[in-house]
Structure 1
Amino acid sequence: MKLIIHGGFFSESSTNQETKKAKQNALSEIVTQGYDYLKTHSALETVIYTVALLENNDLFNAGIGSQIQSDGKVRLSASLMDGKTEKFSGVINVEDVKNPIEIAQHLLTYDDRVLSGDGAQSFARENGFEYFNPITNQRQLEYEAKLNQQNNKGTVGCVALDDEGNLAAATSTGGKGFEIPSRVSDSATVAGNYANKFAGISCTGVGEDITSGALAAKIVTRVTDGFTLKDASDKSFLELKAFDGFAGIIGISAAGEIYHCDSHPHMVWASFDVNLQVFK
């Protein structure tokens, strides 16, 4: 059993050291909770549970504490992929909900598995997801001061390998802040979140760069074709250099390889593979 999570990037400066430490502590607690959950649950159930924990922590840009778009609204995106069934589901730019990853979970049983905007919100309401305002006081202050233009690369994600050898990946984001309303990030696409029987990947960084590089799907495809997870990731990141792509990934292979990689420093992540690791 293996589990790895990320909390996106952060701006490295002396004023952010307290926040950096708080994120490290939160990731340590959440990955430990997630690993304990994995002991008695599937990889799919675990990535949903763990990403929901990340969405419920206002230190991260997903769910509660998500960044605010240029029109003053929060729009959330999240996706889920079951490596066992190779089914993908997600919501894009859904408003006034608490845990978009749980809506993605609900959609996994439908034929129409990716919904956006008003349709996603209507689906959420029809299926018992109540109104919730995810804007925190801190995000509102950042919005009013336009501070989030300086720290706009945050997402959360989780990849799990369960004791039956099944993989799953889940990713959730509140966007980059001050974007054009209804901009679509990578997080609810196979570029940002992908898993099959061979590997699972969750991405963070600049959504447009991750989408241009088809990053998650490309890495998993290379692992499927025989690459190690490290080699598949490293080769894919070399290809991002053609357009100075900004990205980070976490991943696990069916062989048990656990890996993280970023094109720039300061991605926060944590893993649990018998022992706890928290880095950055």
Structure 2
Amino acid sequence: MKIIIHGGFFSESDQSHEVKTAKQNSLKEIARKAFEFLQNHTSEETVVYAVSLLEDDVLFNAGIGSQIQSDGKIRMSASLMNGENQKFSGVINIENVKNPIDVAQVLMKEDDRVLGGIGAKKYAEEYGFKDFSTEIPQRRKEYEEKRINGGKGTVGCVALDQHGNLAAATSTGGKGFELVGRISDSATVAGNFANQYCAVSCTGVGEDIVSNATAAKIVIRVTDGMSIEKAFEKTFTELQEIDGFAGAIGIDKNGNIYHQDSHPTMVFASYDGREFEIFR
């Protein structure tokens, strides 16, 4: 059983040492809780649990930490993929829900598993998700001052359970001040993809991740026999050719964990029940 999570990027130029330490501590605690949860739950259930914890932490750009778009509203996207049954579900630009990843999980039982905007919100209401404002005073202040605090990123989790099944989940609050209707990579297979061989979650500039098909490429290359390390390296070499900004985390069917970023520093934590690895 293995777990790895990410929380976007950290920039020394616009974030303090105190923020860095807070993110390290938070990621370590969430990774620990998620690994404990994994002992008695599936990989799908675990990645949803971990991402919901990240959505509930104001340090990260998802859920209550989400950025504000150009019209002053918050819209979030999230997706889930089960590597065992190859099902993908997600919500795109959903408003006023506490945990978009939970809505994505409910959608797993539907034939229509990716919903956007008003339809996603209506579906959430029909399934008992209460209206919840994810805006916090800090984000409103940032919007009024026309600046973004915290840089580019999303949150995500990849897990391998005791039955050898993989899953990936990703959630984002957007890049801030984007055009209304903009769609990120987080609810696409470019940013979140899994099968029985490998699972990957991405963070960074959505347009770059989509152009590079980052998560899907890595997983397909592992499926075709490439090692997870080589699959990451080749995919990120191709990302560099378009000057792409991204980071990714992954686990293969053998429990090998790997992560890479094109621009330092992706914030992440992994745990296997014995050792933590945390970004520095």
Settle same-fold status: TM greater than 0.5.
yes
- Describe the SS at the equivalent of 1:189: coil
Task: Provide the residue aligned with 2:99 in structure 1.
Answer: 99
Match of 2:22 in 1: 22
Paired residue for 1:80?
A: 80
Once the two structures are TM-superposed, the CA of residue 137 in structure 1 deviates from its matched residue by: 1.0
Matching residue of 1:245:
244
Q: Residue 62 of structure 1 aligns with which residue? A: 62
Q: Distance in 1 between matches of 2:66 and 2:169?
A: 17
CA RMSD, 1 decimal: 1.0
Q: Any conservation in 2 of the 1:75–1:182 contact (CA below 8 Å)?
A: no
Residue 229 of structure 1: aligned partner = 228
Equivalent residue letter for 2:237? L
Query: Are 1:141 and 2:141 counterparts?
Result: yes
State the shift of 1:13 in Å.
2.4
Matches within 5 A, 1:104-183: 104-148=104-148, 151-183=150-182
Q: 2:61 is aligned with what amino acid? A: N
Match of 1:271 in 2: 270
> Structure 1, residues 21-40: CA drift from partner, whole Å, max 9, x if none?
11111001100000000011
Preserved CA contact (<8 Å) 1:55 1:99:
yes
Map Cα deviations across residues 48-68 of structure 1 (whole Å, 9 max, x no partner): 000000000010000011000
CA distance in structure 1 between the partners assigned to 2:237 and 2:15 by the alignment = 32
SS in 1 for 2:65: coil
Shift of 1:147: 1.9
Q: Match of 1:59, as an amino acid?
A: L
Deviation readout 1:194-249 (Å, 9 max, x if unpaired): 00000000000000000000000010000000011110010000001121000000
Q: TM-score, normalised by structure 1?
A: 0.98
Give % identity.
62
The alignment covers a number of residue pairs equal to 279
Q: Where in structure 1 are there 5+ consecutive unaligned residues?
A: none
- CA displacement at 1:152 relative to structure 2: 3.2
Q: Secondary structure of the equivalent of 2:29?
A: helix
SS at match of 1:216: helix
1:151 Cα deviation from its structure 2 partner: 3.9
Partner SS for 1:96:
coil
Partners in 1 of 2:157 and 2:22 — Cα distance? 19
Q: Secondary structure at the match of 1:64?
A: helix
Alpha-carbon distance between aligned partners in 1 of 2:181 and 2:97, rounded to the nearest angstrom: 16
* Distance apart, 1:10 and its partner CA: 2.2
- State the match for 2:205 in structure 1: 206
Residue 192 (1) aligns with residue 220 (2)? no
Q: Describe the SS at the equivalent of 2:240.
A: helix
CA distance in 1, matches of 2:235, 2:50: 27
Counterpart CA distance in 1 for 2:127 and 2:215 is 30
Q: Which amino acid aligns with 2:220?
A: T
Note if contact 2:14-2:150 (Cα within 8 Å) is conserved in structure 1: no
Query: C-alpha distance in 1, partners of 2:213/2:15?
Result: 34
Q: Are the equivalent residues in 1 in contact too, given 2:15–2:150 (CA < 8 A)?
A: no
Any idea what the Cα deviations from partners look like across 1:254-279, whole Å, max 9, x if unmatched?
01110000001111000001222211
Distance 1:254 1:105 in 2: 22
Q: Which runs of 5+ in 2 are unaligned?
A: none
- SS of 2:218's partner is helix
SS in structure 1 opposite 2:21? Answer: helix
Distance 1:52 1:211 in 2: 24
**Which segments of structure 1 move beyond 6 Å, counting only runs of 4 or more?**
none
The one-letter code matched in structure 1 to 2:185 is D
Give the Cα separation in 1 of the matches to 2:163 and 2:263.
34
Between the aligned partners of 1:27 and 1:15, the Cα distance in structure 2 is: 16
**Take 2:15 and 2:176, find their aligned partners in 1: how far apart are those partners?**
20
Q: Which amino acid aligns with 2:67?
A: Q
1:103 counterpart SS class: helix
> Which residue does the alignment assign to 1:39?
39
Q: If the length of structure 2 is used for normalisation, what is the TM-score?
A: 0.98
